[in-house]
Amino acid sequence: MQKRLLILPLAVCLAALAQIGPPSAGVTGGGGTRIVEIQGIPHAWVARAALGESVEAAASSSAELCWTAAGVLHIKDKLTGKAAAYAVPEGDARFAFDAQGTLAAVWFLTTGEVYTSAAGWTAIYTSPEADTPLDLIVAKARALVLLHRADDRLHRTRIDAITGSVQAESTLEDRGGPALLDSGGNPVFAVASGLSNVQTIRRAEQGWMLVTTAHGLWLWQAGKQPQGVPVASGSTPTLQLWTANGSQDVGSTVVLPPTPIGSTTQAEYILANTGTRDVYLTTLHLTTAAPFKLVGAPHPPWRVGAGLLQGFFINFSPTAVGAATPSSLTVNYCNSGDFDTANNACPATAVQTRDTAITGTGLAAPASGPWLTGISPESNMAGAPGFTMFVNGGGYTVGSTVLWNGTPLATVFSSSVQLSAAVPASLLTAPADVSVTVSNPPGGSANVTKAWAFHVYSSVTPSIALFDQNDAPLTASQLSSNMTVRVRVKLDQSTGSSLSGVVELGFQPGPATVATDQAIALGSAGSDQQVGGLQQFTVSAGATTAQFGTKDYVTLTTGTTAGTLTLDVALQNALPATPEKYIISPAPPVILSAAKVSTSGSVVVTVQGYDNTRSISSVAFTFHTASGAVVAPGAMSVDVSKGFADYFQANPQIGGSFVLTATFPATGEIPQIASVTTSLTSNSGTTSANQ
């Protein structure tokens, strides 16, 4: 009988199943050629003024920093000091980050190339030469959304972050000027900030955006007043009133633009503390009421830091033709050193005053007819009863008529700025996008200066249903790793017309070391369904089940990582459905296959499997003879914590899949070894298999 068959030590090797890019540090924000530092907001966008070299583009968070310079992308973790560098095109760039704050993609403006971490920092997509790149974000699963201009139109393109293949394209309304995408993939235009002469707009954190104008930097959130970022300070603590389109003092008089009766002009102005000391505003108001109104002004006493800007607006809403009665803008302030904190006021002897006259001229309503500024409500459901719609705007007269796709509605004149119209149930029988306009007597929609969109949504509601490969129904609790299931989209009622829609797959991994899992996807290779995170479908008139190409289902592979899968279905003309979430629970390691190969001097064991928690800590091998006897020296256990941790860290996209090879130098009668039992232990338990 063989004695001392195996000799330690053994060598354990892990191999990747696919070519996976290196991990990268996360950053947020974006920048241009001049880097600044912004403070005062928790976890704010921060970029350093000096990086020690010429910087073409930069972005940063409180923990990490990345920038491009001399054709190299630099990524640095400021907490650990670890840094990485990758060869990339030179020039300005746009950055995109995933939900964990990891840098996922960079779009280089000079070449139009998109580089992604998922593809090992190689170019996967190049935008057409005539396109102007604006912004990109990370969408669900492994998709990127790009915003760009071409042929004077705004375009949104969705691409696969690994292959660069185009998943969807659409043309959007373009308001012009700098723009970026919000987290939902919708465009945000800098002109909505109310700031004039905007040069750039960049995404910050916590929903903030960084806007640069001709006279400074601003932090802005949609629907909120822009906040000035520190500017260069002078030697005296004086307060200046600037125009919105340049750093010039307005002097003693502000003349607002001529404005038609029934409409409003909003002019932006800036209080700038160009001194080296803070000041307190104790008064900021207009001495007379309508037609002028102060909007967005701070509530005194308001501290304006040295070098800071404080924006506000003045609205002009004339009610008569000709020059309006002038108003006066009064600003009272004092230096912070003189401010009486006990009484929360400036002492009378320390108050400085600035008065500025405000004037404007009212014009007759445009000869071209009425105009719209909004409607309420903006949508309803198909099959709903009739309702009253309010139409806001200006230039309305007795006899003004609201038109529904050109068809007159019964209209009631409320004022020169509002009408109400009866929308009968007969116009709500089917989903539609409706154009709402207004005409004045003697009529004719050619007089309308602007239309507004009204949406009639379908009452059909889509839902997700899961089935196994034998078409047996599955519940959410039955889903686990390494499954292939069928996904069907069902409607709660048949549709009267053909509809289209999409199913989108999202994944939130459980293990912190996972960026995503490339094995998680919708679609089947070799079918008419392109594998990816987004699948289109159609529903024929009278049907209740969606069609994916030639099949009534799309295949879902659940991958090898614990976490949460999300299936989001969007149906044409229907209200958004609630996304379905499926928990892939942590489980012990799984051995898919194992092989033993004997040579003259060794035994090699190769194990392929997956660990959906990515936490394998030990592996044990026990060899047996044909009779089942254990071969000396018995079970051999190896601590592989570091090996597996390094392997998974270097392969963030691969999920929990692995290939493990163990080599055992051996002496004696090797052919007597008939089988080997392999045991893998992780945080979720132990799995054994005999080969």
- The CATH number of residue 74's host domain is 2.130.10.10
Same-domain status, 320 and 261: yes
Q: What is the pLDDT of residue 527?
A: 64
pTM of the prediction?
0.46
* 277 in the same domain as 212: no
Same domain, 490 and 632: no
Q: Which residues of the chain have pLDDT under 70?
A: 1-56, 58, 60-64, 78-81, 99-101, 141, 196, 204-207, 214-217, 223-249, 266-268, 274-276, 289, 306-309, 365-369, 373, 442-450, 525-530, 576, 666-671
CATH number reported for the structural domain that contains residue 623 in this entry: 2.60.40.4070
Q: What is the CATH number of the domain that holds 443?
A: 2.60.40.10
67 plus 207 within the same structural domain: yes
Asked if residue 107 and residue 173 are part of one domain, the reply reads yes
Residues 71 and 120 in one domain: yes
Using one digit for the tens of pLDDT, what is the confidence trace for 326-353?
Answer: 898 888 888 888 888 888 889 999 998 8
Angstrom distance (rounded) from CA 106 to CA 187: 19
CA 94/CA 107 separation, integer angstroms: 5
Q: Per the domain annotation, does 299 fall within a domain? A: yes
Do 280 and 140 fall within a single domain?
no
Residues in the chain: 691
Q: Which domain holds residue 493?
A: 462-584
Predicted pLDDT of residue 42: 33
The Cα-based distances of 216 to 44, 51, 434, 466, 690 in angstroms read 18, 21, 42, 55, 70
Alpha-carbon distance of 417 to 11, in angstroms, equals 82
**Residue 446, burial from CB neighbour count under 10 angstroms (0-12, 13-18, 19+):** exposed
What span, in angstroms and rounded, lies between the C-alpha atoms of 591 and 579?
33
Spatial separation of the C-alpha atoms in residues 469 and 473, rounded to whole Å = 10
Q: Does residue 667 belong to any structural domain of this protein?
A: yes
Q: Give the residue from 363, 382, 409 where a domain finishes.
A: 363
- Tell me the pLDDT tens digit for each residue of 91-103: 888 888 776 667 8
96/115 same-domain check: yes
CATH code assigned at 506: 2.60.40
CA distance 387 to 437: 17
Give domain status of residue 102, yes or no.
yes
Where b means 16+ CB within 10 Å and e means fewer, 167-178 reads: beeeeeeeeeeb
Supply the pLDDT for residue 22.
18
Q: Are residue 601 and residue 577 in the same domain, yes or no? A: no
Q: What is the pLDDT of residue 29?
A: 28
CA torsion sign for 525, 526, 532, 536 is negative
CA dist 195 and 221 (Å) reads 12
Residue 369 has what DSSP assignment?
Answer: -
Q: How many CB atoms lie within 10 A of CB 110?
A: 12
Residue-level pLDDT at 306: 67
46 domain-assigned: no
- 217, β-bridge pairs: 212
**For residue 123, which amino acid is it?**
A
**Bridge partner residues of 353 (DSSP):** 332
**Beta 209-213 vs 216-220: how paired, if at all?**
antiparallel
Looking at the structure, do residues 575 and 487 belong to the same domain, yes or no? yes
Asked if residue 184 belongs to a domain, the reply is yes
Q: How many CA atoms lie within 13 A of 495 on its CB side?
A: 25
Domain boundary among 543, 568, 584: 584
Number of domains present in the structure of the chain: 5
In a shared domain, residues 565 and 595: no
| DSSP class per residue in 72-123 | EEEEEETTT--EEEEE---S-EEEEE-TTS-EEEEEETTT-EEEETTTTSEE
